[in-house]
Amino acid sequence: MPTLILASASPRRLALLAQIGVTPDTIAPTDIDETPRPRELPRAVAQRLAHAKADAAATPDTYVLAADTVVACGRRVLPKPETEAEARACLDLLSGRRHRVITGVVLLGPDGRRGERLVTSIVAFARLTDPQKRAYLDSGEWQGKAGGYAIQGRAAAHISFLSGSHSNVVGLPLFETAQLLRGLGYPLP
């Protein structure tokens, strides 16, 4: 079976791949600057970063799977908050409104071919009360999460609407990823 490198240290992406019977041979997180460029739109950010991660982890004669997920409110890309104040700002912005979760997925094949997908899901938060925001911030679940929340965790209690791929919001759109793998000849179970 050909070697598959996952260019991510995300335990969520690893668990999602396991759902479809895929176990990467190597986990190779990349160290790239994920800062959006001035005036760069959210779709372009996700696509550029997925490409950069795939290229950084590329190894001859292997499959390399890379992805980047961004949370966007309008033209604004929300951060992966590093402080509670940043996480609160994300919750304040998301409360009571819809936003987009965009994931760029890139697969490099051992023969040099490249496949890619850009997947968008629409998510809406209910209007959050101050005590709800405080409880979520106190949980610490926001740490390291794009937009400051994890749909597969406590935030699920506040999601009033989802259109599109749930696995995309978690961090890897499984249908599109499976299509890429099959399309470039990776044997899926």
Q: CATH code at 163?
A: 3.90.950.10
- pLDDT, mean of residues 97-107: 98
Q: Which two tokens stand for residue 55?
A: 């290229």
Asked if the structure places residue 133 within a domain, the reply is yes
Q: Which two tokens stand for residue 148?
A: 């400051």
Token pair 């405080």 in the structure block, residue? 134
Model pLDDT, residue 2? 82
Asked if the structure places residue 111 within a domain, the reply is yes
Asked if the structure places residue 100 within a domain, the reply is yes
pLDDT of 189 strictly over 90: no
How many other C-beta atoms lie within 10 A of the C-beta of residue 149? 26
3-state SS string over 1-46?
CCCEEECCCCHHHHHHHHHCCCCCCEECCCCCCCCCCCCCCHHHHH
Domain count, the chain: 1
Asked if the structure places residue 119 within a domain, the reply is yes
Q: Is 138 a catalytic residue?
A: no
Ramachandran quadrant class, 187 (left: phi over 0; alpha: psi -120 to 50; beta: rest):
beta
Asked if the structure places residue 54 within a domain, the reply is yes
pLDDT digits (tens, 9 = 90+) for 126-172: 999 999 999 999 999 999 899 999 999 999 999 999 999 999 999 99
CA dist., res. 8 & res. 60, Å (int): 18
Q: Which two tokens stand for residue 34?
A: 């994920």
Among 68, 92, 130, 138, which one carries the catalytic annotation?
68
- Please give the residue range of the domain that contains residue 18: 4-183
End-to-end CA distance of the chain: 11
CA dist., res. 154 & res. 134, Å (int): 12
pLDDT digits (tens, 9 = 90+) for 44-69: 999 999 999 999 999 999 999 999 99
pLDDT of 1 strictly over 80: no
Asked if the structure places residue 51 within a domain, the reply is yes
Asked if the structure places residue 188 within a domain, the reply is no
Asked if the structure places residue 189 within a domain, the reply is no
